[in-house]
């Protein structure tokens, strides 16, 4: 009998009609690793990657008949996860996890379902095996008729304090190697947990997660995992670091250079402009050790809006920093966001102008600047979400924004919960589309 079926929950009820690449669910991979270590019979199913519709997912659950269903939840698919729980046999116990759960566990507890639900607030790889074995060594923070809630924070015995000791079975993602935009076979991994930044739109913001500490993996543990990736997938040519803190400081930049000088692979990573503000002398070394591209969350080119969303640095500093990265022959992908609360036409024009200036700056180098641009959506528990609630602004469910689907490969990102800016929908959509079209130049 199957003990646990882990689901990476779907973004839509229906199948996607578009062929897009999706990142592997690394977090569920860690949970699966520790279930298998405990000899628990478990299966991991990525509904997004397999492009399964609602009926297929429910049929899978009924046919596998697991004792427990483990499923993650996001602001974009709460309604879908709730319907999945309603449709499956009542004797299946449901474990719900993900960053969002700490903000909505009371809502989950109010669902009108007969299943026993266990909600986990925090990281789950160490506590979930004990949940399955019904041997949890801590008291829940809440119990009602059918819902039990556990919190894994700094004080919990299940909190993975030293993430260098937390391993991921890379065989779980043996078939999930992606082809990046440089036509290289690429594997994904993470080097940290928690965040040192406080962006007002992000559920991972430091001020919202004071019950956990930021943790950084050791250089040796990162090298060990990359070597394991190379062993499992010898075809891998590049590594993508998914977390925000791999390049967080001068010391970490030097460590990244040392790591990739040893493993001899190309690589890409997230970075903040402040990571390079006083470290531009290291950019050439970064390029020589195989850094193909850095991902930078720019969000807006309006200094007024940057202050409102707690984004460090001015638009001018963003430009100068990214220009220096490009001059070192490192490509840059910048993330932009339109539709922020109180954003006006001038703010949007400043964001568009910054994106255009960065694109033009790259044309004078051997590197490339591209952008990934989104419509702002308020995620549960974030600072902007709470500010909108305080103003009694109606927060609708997050739905697909089909007006943006003229850009191929974007359906997994084109969601809207309403337009909170001071510009009409058509103006908002035009700025998003026209910014994305710069990538076609």
User: 3-state DSSP call for residue 359?
Assistant: helix
18 CB neighbour count, 10 Å cutoff: 12
User: 3-state DSSP call for residue 181?
Assistant: coil
pLDDT in tens, 127-178: 999 999 999 999 999 999 899 999 999 999 999 999 999 999 999 999 999 9
* Domains within the chain, CATH numbers bracketed: 4-151 (3.40.50.280), 169-440 (3.20.20.70)
| Residue 410: per-residue pLDDT | 52
Which residues pair with residue 14 across a beta bridge?
none
Task: Average the pLDDT over 215-242 and give the result.
Answer: 98
| Residue 398: per-residue pLDDT | 63
User: 3-state DSSP call for residue 83?
Assistant: helix
Range from 80-94, 110-124, 411-425 carrying the lowest mean pLDDT:
411-425
How sure is the predictor about 261, in pLDDT bands with cuts at 50, 70 and 90? very high
Q: Would the pTM of this model clear 0.85, i.e. be above it?
A: yes
Q: Are 378 and 335 in contact (CB under 8 A)?
A: no
How sure is the predictor about 394, in pLDDT bands with cuts at 50, 70 and 90? confident
How sure is the predictor about 16, in pLDDT bands with cuts at 50, 70 and 90? confident
Range from 28-37, 329-338, 349-358, 378-387 carrying the lowest mean pLDDT:
378-387
Residue 383 and residue 196: Cα distance in Å, rounded?
A: 16
| Residue 17: per-residue pLDDT | 80
Cα-based torsion angle of the residue sequence 310, 316, 322, 328 in order, rounded to the nearest 10 degrees: -140
- Helix (H) or strand (E) segment spanning residue 104: helix 101-109
% of the chain surpassing 90 pLDDT:
90
How sure is the predictor about 418, in pLDDT bands with cuts at 50, 70 and 90? confident
User: 3-state DSSP call for residue 268?
Assistant: strand
Cα-based torsion angle of the residue sequence 340, 343, 349, 355 in order, rounded to the nearest 10 degrees: -30
Using the predicted structure, report yes or no on whether residue 403 has a pLDDT greater than 90.
Answer: no
Residue of 129, 161, 134, 116 whose CA lies nearest to 32: 129
At residue 329, φ and ψ (nearest 5 deg) are 65, 30
User: 3-state DSSP call for residue 149?
Assistant: strand
Using the predicted structure, report yes or no on whether residue 255 has a pLDDT greater than 80.
Answer: yes
Residue 117 and residue 218: Cα distance in Å, rounded?
A: 36
Name, in order, each residue with C-beta under 8 angstroms of 404's C-beta and a sequence gap of 6 or more. 375, 410, 414, 429, 432, 433
How sure is the predictor about 263, in pLDDT bands with cuts at 50, 70 and 90? very high
Using the predicted structure, report yes or no on whether residue 411 has a pLDDT greater than 80.
Answer: no
Q: Are 322 and 273 in contact (CB under 8 A)?
A: yes
| Residue 304: per-residue pLDDT | 98
């Amino acid at each position: 009998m199957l003990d646990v079926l882990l689901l990476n929950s779907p973004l839509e009820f229906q199948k996607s009609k578009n062929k897009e690449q999706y990142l592997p669910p690394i977090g569920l991979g860690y949970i699966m690793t520790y279930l298998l270590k405990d000899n628990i019979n478990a299966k991991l199913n990525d509904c997004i990657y397999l492009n399964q519709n609602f009926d297929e997912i429910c049929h899978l659950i009924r046919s596998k008949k697991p004792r427990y269903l483990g499923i993650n939840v996001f602001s974009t698919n709460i309604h879908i996860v709730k319907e999945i729980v309603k449709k499956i046999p009542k004797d299946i116990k449901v474990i719900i996890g993900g960053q969002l759960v700490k903000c909505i566990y009371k809502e989950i507890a109010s669902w009108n379902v007969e299943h026993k639900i266990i909600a986990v607030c925090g990281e789950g790889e160490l506590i979930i095996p004990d949940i399955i074995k019904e041997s949890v060594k801590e008291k829940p923070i809440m119990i009602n008729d059918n819902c039990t809630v556990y919190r894994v924070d700094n004080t919990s015995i299940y909190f993975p304090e030293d993430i260098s000791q937390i391993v991921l079975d890379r065989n779980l993602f043996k078939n999930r190697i992606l082809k990046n935009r440089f036509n290289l076979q690429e594997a994904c991994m993470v080097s940290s947990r928690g965040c040192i930044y406080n962006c007002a739109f992000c559920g991972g913001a430091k001020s919202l997660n004071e019950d956990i500490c930021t943790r950084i993996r050791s250089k040796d543990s990162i090298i060990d995992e990359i070597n394991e990736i190379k062993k499992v997938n010898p075809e891998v040519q590049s590594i993508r670091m998914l977390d925000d803190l791999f390049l967080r400081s001068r010391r970490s930049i030097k460590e990244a250079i040392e790591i990739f000088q040893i493993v001899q692979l190309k690589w890409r990573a997230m970075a903040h402009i402040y990571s390079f503000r006083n470290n531009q002398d290291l950019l050439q070394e970064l390029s020589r050790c195989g850094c193909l591209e850095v991902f930078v969350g720019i969000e807006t080119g309006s200094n007024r809006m940057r202050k409102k969303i707690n984004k460090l640095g001015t638009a001018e500093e963003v430009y100068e920093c990214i220009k220096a990265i490009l001059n070192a022959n490192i490509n840059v992908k910048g993330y932009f966001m339109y539709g922020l609360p109180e954003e006006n036409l001038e703010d949007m024009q400043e964001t568009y102008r910054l994106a255009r200036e960065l694109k033009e700056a790259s044309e004078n180098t051997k590197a490339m600047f591209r952008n990934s641009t989104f419509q702002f959506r308020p995620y549960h528990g974030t600072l902007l979400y709470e500010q909108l609630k305080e103003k009694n602004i109606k927060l609708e469910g997050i739905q697909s924004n089909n007006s943006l689907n003229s850009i191929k490969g974007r359906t997994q990102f084109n969601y809207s919960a309403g337009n909170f800016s001071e510009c009409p929908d058509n103006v908002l959509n035009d700025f998003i589309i026209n910014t994305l079209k710069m990538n076609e130049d």
